[in-house]
Amino acid sequence: MASTDWLDINGWVSLLVGFSMDTVHDLLPFYQSEFASVQPMLETLISTSIICTIIFGLMMTTLLALTWIERKFIGRLMDRFGATTSLRSLWVGESGVTAGDWWNQLPLGIGAPIGWLNGILNSIAGNDHKLETISRVNNRGYHGIWFLLPGLFQNVADFVKFASKEHIVPEKADKFVFEIAPVIILATTIMVFAFIPFGPHIWAANPELSLLFMMAIFGIAPLGVFFAGWSSNNKYTLIGGMRSAAQLTAYEIPLLITVLGVAVLSGSFNVIEIVDFQIEQSDTWNIFLLPLGGALFLITMIAEVERIPFDMPEAEAELVEGWWTEYGGMRWGLMFAAEYMRSYAACLLFALFFLGGWQFPFEDTLASLPVIGGAIASILSLVPGVVWLIAKAYVLFAGFVWVRASLHRVRTDQILEFGWRYLLPLSIVNLGVAIYLRLEVWTGESWPIWAAPTLSLIALALFIIYAIDEDKDALAYSRRPYNIQASDKAYPGKHKE
């Protein structure tokens, strides 16, 4: 059985398309039998295209918020505001300088609503508003109204600007490869989303082996990265491309083995079935059964999307901008978007594989509460699952941003050593744990009551022990050095040998 959701977009679309096709079939004066023969194909075609459009729009709109989260959150971590560009600056000009009531230039008075809206906004959040006055004083984009979403439209402005920039191809660059590389990266990255179910009934394609398909496509982008680095005819980009290729190949393998563990545990290569297994059959999220797998997946995914601390390919310090140094304008904007899409896909996959996909946390537990359970269940059933999925993805991405703000960058050889010497064996261990759980512990209907708590408690204990050791180690390093004022004797750190 599959988890259900009232937001049945696939069903609705197929229903709509089927109905319209039937009407067309009925209204056809002739060739009805021939049309009937091609009608299923036509329906599939049209409905698939509609679904793809919906999924793409959903992905892009939510991606906008993703970049916004990054800028705002890292800004707050650094005691800054982050971007505060508000949409209102689109029709009122720049700190006093405006082009007048430009909406009156529009013909047929179609600009009247804009002027009306501006009047209303001025009356609500105009210069008489105290926040507005403060914002004017320190020249901020905040206009006192929350639904203008200060900063959210910064990304819109960026991409509009990228679109209007000149396109420069370096003289000695390999033009064809230089042009094709962003296309490869972007296309494969978007293709990944075709196999990501945003809900039980919101997916563009759902083959039996969608997991393998997704991972295979996810691994194509490094090729484009290498193309980009090589074709720019620039030393920095070449080094960046090389590093990227080495690092991504080093982290693909543990990633795949970890995902294989998830597949073994859930007994399917289909993402939707994996989520359904967590929701319906086992009533337990995989993160409680495979905590090690979750950690490995997160680390390898951070490395795959090349974020700090694993962002060697675009290390600003030594390689100016890494493998996209030579790219400017819209190509760079597209690759920039592709980077965020990869991060977004990583968060979504983690939520799907380990966090129960589109299920509200502890939904069944809450629903089984004695008195209020029914009410909670009915309330939760009103909320479509895609909301929970995207919320989980956002929280995970905030974690990515947190890591980026608080960690340094690892050297190339250290990255590769970490990948090959620690992550690979750990992922194999994780696979063994998954096989054991599936074969021995899994009764067929449900997990024994001890399974999830025991495993998660063991993982928690291990993590705490490791963290304590880590802290001792760090303290030993960061003890006061030998100093005449320092009373305590200096500790010979590990690096002194």
Partner 1 sequence: MRVVSEKTQSAAAEKMAKSLSKMDGVEASVNERVNGTQTRYIVTVDVDVENWRATAESLRNDHEVDYCSMITGIHWPESTEKTWEIVYHFLRTGVTDPAIEEGVVVPNIVDFSKVKGMNVPLELQISIILGDTRTPSVASVQDIWAGADWNEKETWDLVGIVFDGHEGMRRVLNPHESPAGFHPLQKQHKLRYHDHEEMYDDAQGFMRKPSDVGKVK
Partner 2 sequence: MSEEEQNYSMFSSRILVDTIGDVSDDALKASKMKEVIGVLAGRFFNWGQRKSLFPLHLGIKCCALEMAAAGASRFDAERFGVFFRSSPRQCDVLLVNGPISKKFADPITRLWEQMPEPKWCIAMGECAISGGPYFQSYNILEGVDTIIPVDIYIPGCPPRPEALIDGFGKLREKIIRIGAMPSHARIDGNLPVIIGDE
Partner 3 sequence: MGPQHPMTHGLWTLKIKVDGETVVDTEPELGYIHRGVEKICESRDFTQITTYCDRLCYASANTWSHAYIYAAEDLLGVEVPERAEYIRLIAVELQRIASHLMWLGAYGPDIGNLSALVWCLREREMMMDLLQELGGSRMHYNFPRIGGVKRDLPTGFALRARHKVKLFLNRMQEYEALFDESTIFLIRSQGVGYTKAAEMINAGVSGPNIRAAGVNYDIRSAHPYSVYSELDWEPAVERSSIKGADCYDRYRIRMEEMRNSANLVLQALDKIPGGAETYHEPGDPKILAKAPSRAPEGTSGSHHFEDSRGESMFYIVGGGEGRGKKPYRVSIRSPMFITIPYAAKTMIGYKVADIPAIMGSFDPCIGETDR
Task: State the residues that interact with partner 2 by CB under 8 A.
Answer: 71, 75, 78-85, 89-91, 93-99, 102, 105-108, 110-111, 139-141, 153-154, 156-161, 163-168, 316, 320-321, 324-329, 332
Residues 78 and 405: their CA atoms lie apart, in Å, by 8
Q: Which of residues 206-265 bind partner 3 (CB under 8 A)?
A: 239
Which two structure tokens, joined as six digits, stand for 45? 């075609």
Residue 165 touches which of partner 1, partner 3, partner 2, none (CB < 5 to 8 A by kind)? Answer: partner 2
Q: Does 484 bind partner 3 (CB under 8 A)?
A: yes
SS3 97: strand
Taking CB under 8 A as the rule, which mask of x and - marks residues 430-469 in contact with partner 1? ----------------------------------------
Residue type, 188: T
**Count of CB atoms within 10 A of residue 340's CB?**
18
Q: Does 408 bind partner 3 (CB under 8 A)?
A: yes
One of 484, 487, 488, 494 touching partner 1 (CB under 8 A): 484
Residue 478 touches which of partner 3, partner 2, partner 1, none (CB < 5 to 8 A by kind)? Answer: partner 3
Q: Does 477 bind partner 1 (CB under 8 A)?
A: no
Please give the helix or strand (H or E) that residue 120 lies within, else none.
helix 112-125
Q: Does 408 bind partner 1 (CB under 8 A)?
A: no
Residues 151 and 141: their CA atoms lie apart, in Å, by 8
SS3 content of the chain, % helix, strand, coil (to 5): 70, 0, 30
Residue type, 161: K
CB 227, CB 180: distance < 8 Å = yes
Among left, alpha and beta (phi > 0; psi -120 to 50; other), residue 207 is: beta
Judged by CB, which is closer to partner 1: 453, or 492? 492
Residues 167 and 160: their CA atoms lie apart, in Å, by 14
Beta bridge partners of 199: 202
Which two structure tokens, joined as six digits, stand for 313? 């390919």
Please name the residue that has the structure tokens 């966090």.
355
Q: Does 488 bind partner 1 (CB under 8 A)?
A: no
Residues 8 and 21: their CA atoms lie apart, in Å, by 20
Q: Which of residues 225-284 bind partner 1 (CB under 8 A)?
A: none
Give backbone dihedrals phi and psi of 172, rounded to 5 degrees, phi first: -90, 10
What are the start-end ranges of the H helices in 383-480?
385-406, 412-418, 424-436, 451-477
Which two structure tokens, joined as six digits, stand for 383? 């909320």
Stretch that binds partner 3, among 289-297, 353-361, 363-371, 465-473 (CB under 8 A): 465-473
**Count of CB atoms within 10 A of residue 112's CB?**
12
Judged by CB, which is closer to partner 1: 362, or 482? 482
Judged by CB, which is closer to partner 3: 101, or 318? 318
Which two structure tokens, joined as six digits, stand for 249? 């190949």
Stretch that binds partner 1, among 254-262, 396-404, 456-464, 489-497 (CB under 8 A): 489-497
Stretch that binds partner 3, among 83-91, 163-171, 340-348, 404-412 (CB under 8 A): 404-412
Judged by CB, which is closer to partner 2: 52, or 65? 65
Taking CB under 8 A as the rule, which mask of x and - marks residues 285-314 in contact with partner 3? -----------------------xx-xx--
Q: Does 113 bind partner 1 (CB under 8 A)?
A: no
DSSP code of 355?
Answer: S
Stretch that binds partner 3, among 35-43, 267-275, 389-397, 402-410 (CB under 8 A): 402-410
C-alpha distances out from residue 67 to 17, 98, 151, 153, 411, Å: 35, 29, 10, 10, 26
Number of residues that bind partner 3 (CB under 8 A): 44
Q: Least CB distance from residue 492 to partner 1, whole Å?
A: 5
Which two structure tokens, joined as six digits, stand for 216? 């295979």
Residue 93 touches which of partner 2, partner 3, partner 1, none (CB < 5 to 8 A by kind)? Answer: partner 2
Q: Does 469 bind partner 3 (CB under 8 A)?
A: no
Stretch that binds partner 3, among 15-23, 48-56, 77-85, 157-165 (CB under 8 A): 77-85
What are the start-end ranges of the H helices in 150-234?
154-163, 175-194, 210-218, 221-231
Q: Least CB distance from residue 350 to partner 3, whole Å?
A: 22
Binding site for partner 1 (CB under 8 A): 482, 484, 492, 496-497
